[in-house]
């Protein structure tokens, strides 16, 4: 099977048109010595057989356990209409909308996506998407270095530890200094920050809510950064924007984040959705595609890729970024998801997550030896301090059908006894109660 | 002209409902964020019904040309049919519902054996397809693969104590190549193309100085031509300890016939959204897995899926020479499921057949259009063919005009103005999944357009005539900067 529609007659007629006698002759430019005898791969199999193999593989995964893991990637419910619409072939079998006359569907959807990201974050301009929240953050750091022409980045200790490592990978060869604020589940250490900020600082990076679940007003941090001519970058959780003051109101210059929560399945890590928004002054330094509104020759309103002079296909090595293909279909899903959620829906959903998390916190707090480690407000994720190793506890609870959370010792050796627990609207009170009593039972 | 979803909003209207807290949980609703932290106003999302949303996006979708609705010969993008079985397997609950942090729990790998096996087996098949020793599936697009590959090359040279500051890239290369090299910290040096469309070997020799870290090549090149000097280039590069990078955007021309690894390439990326038929999604998501030769294995990103002696799959994180994390997890996993499904479904024989018919289709278009349009280089092409609109330009008809005229004929335009070294370039990539009848209809349309350009060149300014909008004012878009509603 190769999905080639050619009959043997078609093939022979086409070869005759070319004046060659075999398909092989078309490959004459490949040096003889490099010709491959045969791929060492099994021959193709039928659709049914492929399905059976993949189905069997999917059953070797424990996806049916009740999951209390978040860590930046959340088990939210996805309305059916998101799948229905995003699986329309007119959307998913098209490509980058370079020809606006035959791509208004994609272009308008991206314009709506940009608008929704701006409304969520309070920012002026958003791009058409980045690969994921991690690469979006890396691009934000690189953009700050370019725009300020300064070599230093200060990173808050509450940044997702995986994103923190990604920053190192991408900046290693670029003569950039990463300066770290202490890891703390609570507020950013302002005194330490003040001591690090200089006229060489390009940006301060913060995550809100931070990796440990704590929500913070970082307006004063933005003011400190700005006083030194540095940019303020925040990585945010979009669902939390239903309850938390927008990053723009807190003084951000660049806002990025992971859009997986907006209608994308967890899918073992991807595809996800990076979003990227800036204040207007920075738009020409922004990476990625941007769609703008305009008119056609009849004066009709329409949409088109714009400000392309920043991009690799025009500027090559001087481009703002190397990104070409992005996560357009994921952005479409997010746009549909947010349309279905609506104005009141986002506030309600965020409130539901927070209320359920507060319920869970209160139940855990009653267990002897267990403590909620966050001293400041949280949204839907919090840190439990246990009287035992958190990895042990998680392993013990798996046979009971639940994944208790993420043991923080994996990334922070000093936090071996701490567990990061996330609650979404999908976790029922029954599930939370079962989790709490299982912990109680274990610690007895 | 259609309304924006925001313009369909009616105060108080609602679509779907989400779970609410139970009665016991609701007792905690009084706990709120302090004023300094709390949202000052609700986010202005549209207030619409579910049916409003369905109609709005269904209508929008109908304004697109897509593979499902139109022949889409967009050069360099391999717009082949996307088999539906791949959508079905990617959506299986046992994959879609899997949290990426699960295998990072103690003994957590046992919870994700199926997913890890899929990653491992895909790595193995891609090694065989390309002739490489190891693969990472983490890069999330072609350009991301390029950057990853260049970081691997930088790590290789650093480890050997080599000081290399520059990368050679042919002038025909895709814009992501120089952009990726720059972001990786390299200076970019452009290598000219000779009169036959191959790399200018003499110029290459002169540019191959001891500070060259790598040569980034696309093979077949973006001119749709197989690089005939490739073995000589590889030998010269390796004698200089310069690594050879393979941009795999055009791998659809080579499957089963030759492997980049056997041609001397040290690092390759594949575009699974091209060669392995994962959907393009209106611009993404794709995936850009990167393969390397033995000498670069230690540098591959964190983590790598391995198989132990008992047949269990596990993630190796402890790799001291690794470049580190280039993505949070294991790549665009659901895209990789589609690629794996496609690989198994086609098998070695099917992949080779796909390549053969991709090349046959491109040469058929080339042969039939030759009398009417000027070829950029007159040679047997691989999976795509490049023409220039120079003949038509004599009458003032540009590649852009021809593209717009094709829309009226019911076809998606080719890639235009790329490669940049071809004046008024038009790049056609039909792919193997198009029938002779479709190609014939397309060829007839192209011939009609050539005749119209001769007879009535002024008519092009109005084209396309069949679409809802026509000839967009790009200058106004850039000036007005209306980038959101
Ligand atoms: C030759 C070539 N190289 C690289 C790329 C970049 O790939 P991606 O868009 O997946 O980042 C493309 C994409 O069109 C291409 O055609």
pLDDT digits (tens, 9 = 90+) for A351-369: 999 999 999 999 999 999 9
B26: helix, coil or strand? helix
Residue A182 DSSP class: P
B199 lines ligand 1 (CB under 6 A): no
- Short-list B375, B319, B303, CA closest to B101: B303
pLDDT digits (tens, 9 = 90+) for B91-119: 999 999 999 999 999 989 999 999 999 99
Query: Pick from B81, B281, B484: which is nearest to A3 by CB?
Result: B81
Residue A199 DSSP class: T
CA pair distance B481, B470, nearest whole angstrom: 20
Q: What kind of fold does domain A66-78+344-443 have according to CATH?
A: 3.90.1150
Reply yes or no: is the peptide bond before residue B285 cis, omega within 30 of 0. Answer: yes
Whole-number Å distance, alpha carbon A127 to ligand 1 midpoint, is 19
Q: Where are the beta strands (DSSP E) in B273-379?
A: 290-292, 304-307, 313-316, 374-375
Query: Pick from B329, B472, B480: which is nearest to A269 by CB?
Result: B329
Whole-number Å distance, alpha carbon B228 to ligand 1 midpoint, is 22
What is the pLDDT at residue B451?
98
Judged by CB atoms closer than 8 Å, whether chains meet at A5 and B434 is answered as yes
Judged by CB atoms closer than 8 Å, whether chains meet at B89 and A15 is answered as no
Nearest-CA distance from B220 to chain A in Å?
10
B336 lines ligand 1 (CB under 6 A): no
Query: Pick from B20, B39, B332: which is nearest to A270 by CB?
Result: B332
Strand B415-416 with B385-388, pairing: unpaired
B271 lines ligand 1 (CB under 6 A): yes
CA pair distance B228, B251, nearest whole angstrom: 16
Q: Does A414 touch chain B (CB under 8 A)?
A: no
CA pair distance B66, B364, nearest whole angstrom: 23
Contacting residues of B for A325, CB less than 8 Å apart: 141-143, 271, 273, 280, 283-286
* Interface-testing mutation among B31, B56, B57, with chain A (most A C-beta atoms within 10 A): B57
Domains of chain B, first to last: 1-63 (no CATH), 84-345 (3.40.640.10), 349-478 (3.90.1150.10)
Nearest-CA distance from A353 to chain B in Å?
8
Domain residues of chain A, as ranges? 66-78+344-443, 83-337
pLDDT digits (tens, 9 = 90+) for A129-152: 999 999 999 999 999 999 999 999
**Contact B178/A318 with Cβ under 8 angstroms?**
no
- Short-list B167, B90, B179, B100, CA closest to B142: B179
Residues of chain B with pLDDT below 50 are none
- Short-list B433, B422, B426, B386, CA closest to B404: B426
Whole-number Å distance, alpha carbon B478 to ligand 1 midpoint, is 25
B288 lines ligand 1 (CB under 6 A): yes
B272: helix, coil or strand? coil
B275 lines ligand 1 (CB under 6 A): no
- The residue contributing the CA closest to ligand 1 atom 9 is A325
Judged by CB atoms closer than 8 Å, whether chains meet at A90 and B262 is answered as no
Q: Which of B149, B176, B335 to mutate to test the pocket of ligand 1 (most atoms within 8 A of CB)?
A: B176
pLDDT digits (tens, 9 = 90+) for A274-313: 999 999 999 999 999 999 999 999 999 999 999 999 999 9
This prediction has a pTM of 0.98
A324 lines ligand 1 (CB under 6 A): yes
Backbone torsion region of residue B141, taken as left when φ is above 0, otherwise alpha when ψ lies between -120 and 50, otherwise beta: beta
Atom of ligand 1 nearest to the CA of B76: 16
Query: Pick from B141, B404, B483: which is nearest to A290 by CB?
Result: B483
Nearest-CA distance from A89 to chain B in Å?
6
- Give the CB-side neighbour count of residue B300, counting CA atoms within 13 A: 32
Nearest-CA distance from A435 to chain B in Å?
15
Residues in a beta bridge with B388: B374, B425
Q: Dihedral sign, CA of A119, A123, A127, A133?
A: negative
What is the pLDDT at residue A185?
85
What residues have CB less than 8 Å from A413, skipping those under 6 apart?
none
**CA-based nearest residue in chain B for residue A378:** B33
What is the pLDDT at residue B259?
98
Q: Does A256 touch chain B (CB under 8 A)?
A: no
Q: Report helix, strand and coil shares of chain B as percent, to nearest 5.
A: 40, 10, 45
- Give the CB-side neighbour count of residue A24, counting CA atoms within 13 A: 6
Alpha carbon separation from B484 to A116, A125, A303, A348, B464 (Å, rounded): 8, 7, 11, 25, 27
Q: Report helix, strand and coil shares of chain A as percent, to nearest 5.
A: 45, 15, 40
CA pair distance B74, B80, nearest whole angstrom: 10
Q: Which of B74, B169, B174, B425 to mutate to test the pocket of ligand 1 (most atoms within 8 A of CB)?
A: B174
Contacting residues of A for B36, CB less than 8 Å apart: 217, 219, 245
Residue matched to tokens 């870290």: B213
What is the pLDDT at residue B1?
67
Q: Does A304 touch chain B (CB under 8 A)?
A: yes
**CA-based nearest residue in chain A for residue B63:** A105
Residue matched to tokens 């809510």: A209
Q: Does A200 touch chain B (CB under 8 A)?
A: no
Residue A376 DSSP class: S
**CA-based nearest residue in chain A for residue B430:** A4
B180 lines ligand 1 (CB under 6 A): no
pLDDT digits (tens, 9 = 90+) for A185-202: 888 999 999 999 999 999
Whole-number Å distance, alpha carbon A47 to ligand 1 midpoint, is 29
What residues have CB less than 8 Å from A74, skipping those under 6 apart?
A237, A239, A260, A261, A380, A422, A424
* Interface-testing mutation among A120, A239, A322, A378, with chain B (most B C-beta atoms within 10 A): A322
B77 lines ligand 1 (CB under 6 A): yes
Query: In tens digits, what is the pLDDT along chain A, a chain of 444 residues?
Result: 899 999 999 999 999 999 999 999 999 999 999 999 999 999 999 999 999 999 999 999 998 899 999 999 999 999 999 999 999 999 999 999 999 999 999 999 999 999 999 999 999 999 999 999 999 999 999 999 999 999 999 999 999 999 999 999 999 999 999 999 998 888 899 999 999 999 999 999 999 999 999 999 999 999 999 999 999 999 999 999 999 999 999 999 999 999 999 999 999 999 999 999 999 999 999 999 999 999 999 999 999 999 999 999 989 999 999 999 999 999 999 999 999 999 999 999 999 999 999 999 999 999 999 999 999 999 999 999 999 999 999 999 999 999 999 999 999 999 999 999 999 999 999 999 999 999 999 998
Atom of ligand 1 nearest to the CA of B273: 10
What is the pLDDT at residue A184?
86
Contacting residues of A for B351, CB less than 8 Å apart: 2, 39, 41
Q: Which of A97, A135, A325, A326 to mutate to test the pocket of ligand 1 (most atoms within 8 A of CB)?
A: A325
Judged by CB atoms closer than 8 Å, whether chains meet at B105 and A316 is answered as no
CATH number of the domain located at residue range(s) A83-337 in this protein:
3.40.640.10
Q: DSSP readout, A330-373?
A: HHHHHHHHHHHHHHHHHHHHHHHHHHHHHHHHHHHHTSTT-EE-
Judged by CB atoms closer than 8 Å, whether chains meet at B45 and A338 is answered as yes
**Contact B302/B281 with Cβ under 8 angstroms?**
no
**CA-based nearest residue in chain A for residue B60:** A105
Rounded to 10 degrees, the C-alpha dihedral A129/A133/A136/A140 comes to 130
């Amino acid at each position: 099977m190769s999905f080639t529609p050619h009959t043997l007659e078609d093939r022979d007629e086409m070869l005759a048109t070319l004046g060659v006698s075999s398909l092989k002759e078309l490959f004459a430019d490949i040096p003889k010595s490099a010709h491959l005898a045969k791929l060492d791969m099994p021959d193709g199999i039928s659709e049914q057989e492929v399905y059976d193999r993949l189905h069997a593989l999917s059953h070797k995964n424990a996806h049916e356990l009740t999951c209390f893991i978040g860590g930046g990637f959340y088990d939210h419910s996805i309305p059916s209409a998101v799948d229905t619409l995003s699986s329309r072939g007119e959307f998913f079998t098209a490509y980058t909308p370079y020809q606006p006359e035959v791509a208004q569907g994609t272009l308008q959807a991206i314009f709506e996506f940009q608008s929704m990201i701006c409304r969520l974050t309070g920012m002026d301009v958003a791009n058409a998407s980045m690969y994921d929240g991690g690469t979006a953050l890396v691009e934000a750091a690189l953009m700050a270095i370019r725009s300020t022409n300064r070599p230093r980045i200060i990173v808050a200790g509450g940044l997702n530890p995986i994103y923190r490592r990604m920053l190192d990978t991408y900046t290693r060869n670029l003569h950039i200094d990463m300066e770290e604020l202490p890891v703390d589940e609570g507020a950013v250490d302002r005194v330490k920050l003040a001591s690090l900020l200089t006229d060489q600082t390009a940006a301060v990076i913060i995550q809100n809510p931070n990796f440990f679940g704590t929500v913070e007003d970082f307006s004063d941090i933005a003011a400190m950064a700005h006083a030194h001519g540095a940019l303020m970058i925040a990585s945010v959780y979009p669902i939390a924007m239903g309850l938390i003051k927008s990053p723009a109101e807190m003084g951000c210059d660049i806002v990025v984040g992971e859009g997986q929560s907006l209608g994308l399945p967890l899918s073992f890590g991807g595809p996800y959705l990076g979003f990227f928004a800036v204040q207007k002054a920075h738009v020409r330094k922004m990476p990625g595609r941007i769609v703008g509104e305009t008119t056609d020759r009849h004066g009709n309103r329409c949409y088109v890729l714009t400000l392309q002079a920043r991009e690799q296909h025009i500027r090559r090595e001087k481009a703002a970024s190397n990104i070409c293909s992005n996560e357009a279909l994921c952005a479409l899903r997010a746009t549909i998801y947010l349309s279905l959620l609506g104005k009141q829906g986002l506030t309600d959903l965020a409130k539901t997550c927070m209320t359920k998390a507060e319920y869970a916190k209160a139940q855990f707090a009653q267990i002897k030896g267990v403590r909620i480690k966050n001293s400041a407000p949280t949204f839907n994720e919090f840190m439990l301090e246990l009287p035992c190793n958190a990895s042990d506890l998680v392993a013990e609870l798996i046979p009971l059908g639940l994944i208790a959370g993420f043991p923080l010792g994996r990334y922070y050796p000093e936090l071996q006894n701490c567990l990061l627990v996330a609650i979404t609207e999908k976790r029922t009170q029954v599930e939370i109660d079962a989790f709490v009593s299982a912990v109680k039972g274990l610690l007895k | 002209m259609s309304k924006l979803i925001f313009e369909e909003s009616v105060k108080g209207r609602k679509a779907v409902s989400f779970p609410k807290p139970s009665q016991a949980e609701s007792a905690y609703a009084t706990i709120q964020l302090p004023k300094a932290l709390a949202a000052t106003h609700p986010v202005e999302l549209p207030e619409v019904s579910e049916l409003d949303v369905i109609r709005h996006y269904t209508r929008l979708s109908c304004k697109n040309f897509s593979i499902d609705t139109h022949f889409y010969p967009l050069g360099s993008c391999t717009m082949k049919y996307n088999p539906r079985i791949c959508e079905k397997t990617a959506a299986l609950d046992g994959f879609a519902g899997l949290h990426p942090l699960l295998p990072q729990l103690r003994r957590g790998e046992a919870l994700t054996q199926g997913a890890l096996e899929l990653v491992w087996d895909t790595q193995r098949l891609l090694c065989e397809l390309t002739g490489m020793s190891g693969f990472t599936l983490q890069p999330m697009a072609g350009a991301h693969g390029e950057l990853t590959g260049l970081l691997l090359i930088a790590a290789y040279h650093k480890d050997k104590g080599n000081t290399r500051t520059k990368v050679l890239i042919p002038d025909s290369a895709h814009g992501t190549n120089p952009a990726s090299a720059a972001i990786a910290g390299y200076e970019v040096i452009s290598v000219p193309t000779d009169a036959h469309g191959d790399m200018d070997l003499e110029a290459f020799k002169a540019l191959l100085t001891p500070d060259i870290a790598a040569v980034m090549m696309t093979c077949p090149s973006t001119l749709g031509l197989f690089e005939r000097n490739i073995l000589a280039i590889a030998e010269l590069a390796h004698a200089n300890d310069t690594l050879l990078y393979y941009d795999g955007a055009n791998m659809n021309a080579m499957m089963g016939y030759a492997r980049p690894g056997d041609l001397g390439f040290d690092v390759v990326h594949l575009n699974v959204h091209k060669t392995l038929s994962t959907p393009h999604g209106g611009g993404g998501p794709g995936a850009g897995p990167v393969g390397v030769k033995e000498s670069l294995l230690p540098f591959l990103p964190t983590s790598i899926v391995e198989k132990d002696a008992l047949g269990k799959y596990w993630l190796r994180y402890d790799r001291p020479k690794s470049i580190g994390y280039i993505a949070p997890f294991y790549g665009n996993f659901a895209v990789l499921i589609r690629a794996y499904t496609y690989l198994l479904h086609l098998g070695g024989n099917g992949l080779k057949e796909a390549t053969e018919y991709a090349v046959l289709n491109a040469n058929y278009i080339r042969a039939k259009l030759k009398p009417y349009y000027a070829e950029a280089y007159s040679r047997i092409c691989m999976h795509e063919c490049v023409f220039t609109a120079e003949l038509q330009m004599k009458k003032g008809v540009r590649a852009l005009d021809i593209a717009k005229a094709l829309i009226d004929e019911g076809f998606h335009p080719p890639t235009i103005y790329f490669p940049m070294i071809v004046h008024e370039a038009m790049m056609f990539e039909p792919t193997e999944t198009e029938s002779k009848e479709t190609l014939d209809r397309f060829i007839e349309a192209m011939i009609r357009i050539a005749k119209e350009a001769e007879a009535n060149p002024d008519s092009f300014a109005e084209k396309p005539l069949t679409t809802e909008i026509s000839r967009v004012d790009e200058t106004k878009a850039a000036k007005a900067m209306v980038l959101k509603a």
